[in-house]
Amino acid sequence: MLKQKILDKSAIIGVIGLGYVGLPLAVEKAKAGFHVVGFDIQPEKVDMVNAGHNYIGDVVAADLEKIVNNGHLKATSDFDKLSDCDVFA
């Protein structure tokens, strides 16, 4: 079942930490067509991601804005939402 979700890109990917490794990873997975939930303990980062504002040099701002606006990436500090994810990176 999980394999099929990955193949048809219906798997929800959780990325823990939205720093210099996590945010670019989350963006690339969302650009590939997956729905991604990014988790971070810093509310400022969560708010910036959800507003489509980039704070990492390795991320193209237009890409971040596009995937947030199309619903492929959302960020949260609510770690109870981990149970919504199928896989983690």
Domain positions in the chain are: 2-78
d(CA 9, CA 51): 24
Confidence bin at 87 (pLDDT 50/70/90): very high
Q: What is the pLDDT of residue 17?
A: 98
d(CA 62, CA 11): 24
Instruction: Select from 55, 49, 43 the least CA-distant residue to 74.
Output: 49
What confidence tens digit (pLDDT) does each residue in 40-51 have? 999 999 999 999
Chain-centre distance for alpha carbon 63: 12
Cβ atoms 59, 19 nearer than 8 A: no
Instruction: Give the percent of the chain with pLDDT over 90.
Output: 99
Q: Which CATH architecture has domain 2-78?
A: 3-Layer(aba) Sandwich (3.40)
The pTM score is 0.94
What are the distances in angstroms from CA 31 to CA 26, 65, 76, 79, 86? 9, 11, 19, 23, 18
- The token pair that represents 16 in the structure block: 């823990």
